[in-house]
Homo-oligomer: A and B are copies of this chain.
Amino acid sequence: MTRQIEITELVLRDAHQSLMATRMAMEDMIPVCEDLDNAGYWSIECWGGATYDSCIRFLNEDPWERLRTFKKLMPKTPLQMLLRGQNILGYRHYGDDVVEHFVEKAAANGMDVFRIFDALNDPRNLRTAVNAVRKTGKHAQGCICYTISPVHTIGAFVDLADQLMEMGCQSICIKDMAALLKPQPAYELVKGIKAQCGKETLVHVHTHATTGVTLVSLMKAIEAGADIVDTAVSSMSLGPGHNPTESLVEMLEGTGYTTRVDMERIHRVNEYFRKIRNNYKKYLTDFQGAETDIFKSQIPGGMLSNMESQLKQQGAGDKVQEVLLEVPVVRKASGYPPLVTPTSQIVGTQAVFNVLMGEWKAMSGEFADLMLGYYGATLGAKEEKVQQIAAEKTKKQVITCRPADLIPNEFDKLRGEALALEGANGSDEDVLTYAMFPQVAPKFFRTRHEGPKNPSKEAPAPAAKTAAPGDKPAATQPGQLSAPITYAVTVNGHSHKVTVAPAA
């Protein structure tokens, strides 16, 4: 009795996004494409997430050209991308027509598997994207963003999976971006999904390695029936990245679970990146160990350092412990959002505000939007008292509809603006680039003719180890992450200058 486990290779997208600030240039990926394409992966994740942003912001590289090149070099293995539901690859909710155009163009340019998620796990924020993918005939995968809270039970996650399958998803991804998924919940979650949605339901497990425990979780997920798991070749693995592909394969030896990957090819890919990663030293994460504090604090590492730096800027570095205790209060009030970008930053900043100025005395625009429903629905109920304060401060209504229902179609308007820009080439792809990154696109269009820049070959520059900051979207949309805002607040006679900035 053996069962074949499929593997998605992450080295071309999430691995370098997690380990080297999404900086890997296309020219450094091209030499391994043939080996990757012939290595027997279920899919190769190579696009989406922060790569689009990084391409135009740092690499002077057209992300659509990157996608077409991948398709040309890897014609056999399905290409996979990460799509932020109604946010597409940007930082606000878009009109449905923009989402539809994006999916259509991605499919036409070579994308095969669309992994779609929403930071709040609100299925309505996935619906337009899922429908659009189904229309293209490509594979629509719906995500459960895994988190831990009193309301995030196995049953609640299984229900979410059920809704995603009902919606038309062809597989379910358990997306564990903070490495919180422990072995026993992994086992129960996969078992639960298979029991509820049918055992033929494809279950795909995505974990990061941060806490050191998730390779065990993959083992238990496989024992429970998971079909596909995500890994990255070992020289581009671990720390804030993922579990090593080779370790996953070796782990299964003799267990009755097999894989079909070609270890000779994977070995070559691994040796290649072992050398390449050294060229990106200035972007490489310092940290390759296990970060287990999150199990104690329930607060992701990136969020913690962000809060600490906010506190230090306010001369309140001694308040870290108070803020740590305030985070659960804020999270409960806002209905227990998963703590991922952008919610981790929104919740963290509000916890800082509450400690520095008193609970709910000051409120960021983003936190108010979160409370009022402009990011979507949370699994837990929101505290009415705090919701009222948010409504009063912002003069905005509570909404319960799908947030994008309030956004009119906007592609034609964006097209007009985009194509007026110097260097825009008239394509829908350029319109999408402008739609998602209106601040960055103009410069990219102007400089595109200079061709891609490889940051690993530039002269040494100051270290830039954090991920790309969010773009500044147009200011009129709900649910947006806006530019830094500075508040001047006086509490008990002490004046505080508080700045809220998009998460790193």
**B-facing residues in A67-94 (Cβ within 8 Å):** none
- Residues of B near A296 (CB, < 8 A) are 263, 267
Contacting chain B: which of A42-50, A249-257, A472-480?
A249-257
A237 to B296, CA, bound (A): 18
A290 to B237, CA, bound (A): 8
- Residues of B near A290 (CB, < 8 A) are 234, 237-238, 244, 246-247
A292 proximal to B (CB < 8 A): yes
Known pairs A213-B247, A247-B211, A292-B247; A184 contacts B234 (CB<8 A): no
A212 proximal to B (CB < 8 A): yes
Cross-interface CB contact of A215 among B215, B254, B255, B288, cutoff 8 Å: B215
- Residues of B near A219 (CB, < 8 A) are 183, 216, 219-220
- Residues of B near A238 (CB, < 8 A) are 212, 238, 288-290
How far in angstroms is the closest Cβ of chain B from A129?
33
Count chain A residues whose beta carbon lies closer than 8 angstroms to a beta carbon of B: 37
A185 proximal to B (CB < 8 A): yes
- Residue interface mask A225-254, B partner, CB < 8 A = 1: 000000000110111000110110011011
- Residues of B near A253 (CB, < 8 A) are 182, 184
A interface: dominant SS: helix
- Residues of B near A182 (CB, < 8 A) are 250-251, 253-254
A254 to B181, CA, bound (A): 12
A295 proximal to B (CB < 8 A): yes
A220 to B183, CA, bound (A): 12
Q: Are A255 and B184 in contact (CB under 8 A)?
A: yes
Residue of A183, A220, A255 most packed against chain B (CB within 10 A): A183
A35 proximal to B (CB < 8 A): no
How far in angstroms is the closest Cβ of chain B from A409?
47
A104 proximal to B (CB < 8 A): no
- Residue interface mask A266-299, B partner, CB < 8 A = 1: 0100100000000000000000111111011000
A220 to B244, CA, bound (A): 19
- Residues of B near A216 (CB, < 8 A) are 215-216, 219, 251
- Residues of B near A288 (CB, < 8 A) are 238-239, 288-289
Q: Are B184 and A247 in contact (CB under 8 A)?
A: no
A79 to B247, CA, bound (A): 33
- Residues of B near A291 (CB, < 8 A) are 234
- Residues of B near A237 (CB, < 8 A) are 212, 289-290
Cross-interface CB contact of A246 among B184, B243, B295, cutoff 8 Å: B295
A425 to B289, CA, bound (A): 44
Residue of A182, A184, A290, A296 most packed against chain B (CB within 10 A): A290
Cross-interface CB contact of A295 among B239, B250, B289, cutoff 8 Å: B250
A253 to B213, CA, bound (A): 11
CB-based nearest B residue for A236: B289
How far in angstroms is the closest Cβ of chain B from A164?
25
A185 to B216, CA, bound (A): 15
The 3 tightest CB contacts between A and B, nearest first, are: A184-B254, A246-B292, A212-B247
Sample of 12 more A-B contacts, CB < 8 Å, known A246-B292, A247-B292 = A182-B254, A183-B219, A212-B215, A212-B234, A212-B238, A213-B247, A216-B251, A234-B289, A234-B291, A239-B288, A244-B289, A288-B288
Cross-chain pairs A/B with CB under 8 angstroms, 28 sampled = A182-B254, A184-B254, A185-B254, A188-B254, A211-B247, A212-B215, A212-B243, A212-B247, A213-B247, A215-B216, A234-B289, A234-B290, A234-B291, A234-B292, A235-B289, A237-B290, A238-B238, A238-B288, A238-B290, A244-B292, A246-B290, A246-B295, A247-B290, A247-B292, A263-B296, A267-B293, A267-B296, A288-B288
